[in-house]
Structure 1
Amino acid sequence: MSQVRQLHRRYQREFWPAIAAYVLIMFFLWPLLPQVQSRLLATVLALLPVVPVLFVVRAMVRLVQGSDELEQRIHLIGLAVATTVVSTFSLTGGFLAAAGIVKLDGAVLIWIWPALVVMYAVGRGWASRRYGGGGAVLCSDGAASHWRLLLIAGLLAAVAWLGRHRMRDYQLGMLCGIGAALAAWGLLLAILHWRRQRRGDHEAS
């Protein structure tokens, strides 16, 4: 169990700084794109958010490689769920856009990777509970995990509120979307933690 905790703590140390870098790039550097005259510099700036994403992928790969066979199976199920759901929605949206029923531009591609991550978390949590685990995905520190997520969601909500008159619509929408997802995730982990505590208290009595 100690090795598992160390594995997840290393994952958190690698995951959250990369996510923070991604958010900072998207909110403070990416909006500068319209002001850049050099095509080369604009290309570098446009692709800059990919760098922290690669670090996130590296952290996830290291987590899976360090896990035992059961954990690797759970990760595989989560990935299968994410791939199936996101690809089905992408195909549906593509047909609707090709038929002219809905209008979609290339910017929608930005949301595919976050959608994969969210659906992977949902799928892995479901598989973990199915195999008798607690369903935790990115955090495994018990009570600390949901408080951490709720704190981050609260900070994002505060930033969105303070900067609502200065941010562009897509920036404000992204902040609110990320904050709402983290808040929902934190509440879900809090409910699961509370249920495990009640189950443990009931078995102890």
Structure 2
Amino acid sequence: MTMTPAAKTYMRRMLIVMGAYMVLLFGAVWADNHLELSQPLRIVLSLLPVLPVIACIGTIIAFVRAMDEVQARIVLESTLIGAIVVAVASFTYGMLRGVTDWPGIYEVWYLPAFIAVSGIAQIFVKRRYQ
């Protein structure tokens, strides 16, 4: 299967954005672990990897806008499923934590969980449109 020009542009932009994310993430962790930093500087460093994630949003939106209606609908349904499943799962776990001594879930895992569930959902949603 050949990639469309929009898909090639998307892949190129995502590689650049994710490369920037990795550099900023590992750089911030390294600096935090090896340097004596003030609290405000630690906060700024911890937020730097968020910038490529925000840039990722624009890349995704541009790619979805370049899709045909069916592809865009598949992405929309998959995204909704991912958001709803992660929201309900985290809400349910939070309710259970109120009556148990179960450990908390580190918030940084919500976005990867959402991306994973959306990706898995896309496999099943795509089958409905074939």
Q: Give the TM interval when normalised to the shorter protein.
A: 0.7 to 0.9
Aligned pairs for 1:1-205 (under 5 A) are 5-33=4-32, 35-104=35-104, 108-132=106-130
* Structure 2 Cα separation of the partners of residues 21 and 96 of structure 1: 37
After the TM superposition, which segments of 4 or more aligned residues of structure 1 sit over 4 Å from their partners? none
Higher Cα Rg: structure 1 or 2?
A: 1
Change (3 A) 1:33 1:100: farther
* Structure 1 Cα separation of the partners of residues 27 and 99 of structure 2: 37
Q: Residue 37 of structure 1 aligns to a residue in which SS?
A: coil
Residues 28 and 46 in structure 2, CA contact (< 8 A), matched pair in contact too: no
For residues 54-78 of structure 1, the C-alpha deviation after alignment (integer angstroms, 9 at most, x for no partner) is: 1222111111111121111111111
* Structure 1 Cα separation of the partners of residues 43 and 50 of structure 2: 12
Change (3 A) 1:5 1:84: same
Residues 82 and 116 in structure 1, CA contact (< 8 A), matched pair in contact too: yes
Structure scoring higher RCO (CA < 8 A, sep ≥ 6) equals 2
* Structure 2 Cα separation of the partners of residues 8 and 102 of structure 1: 43
Q: Residue 62 of structure 2 aligns to a residue in which SS?
A: helix
Q: Specify the alignment match of 1:138 in structure 2.
A: none
Residues 64 and 72 in structure 2, CA contact (< 8 A), matched pair in contact too: yes
Q: Residue 103 of structure 2 aligns to a residue in which SS?
A: coil
Q: How many residues align?
A: 129
For structure 2, list consecutive stretches of 5 or more residues without a partner in the other structure: none
* Structure 1 Cα separation of the partners of residues 44 and 73 of structure 2: 37
For structure 1, list consecutive stretches of 5 or more residues without a partner in the other structure: 133-205
TM-score (norm 2): 0.85
Alpha-carbon distance, 1:17 to partner: 2.1
* Structure 1 Cα separation of the partners of residues 87 and 36 of structure 2: 34
TM-score (norm 1): 0.56
Alpha-carbon distance, 1:36 to partner: 4.2
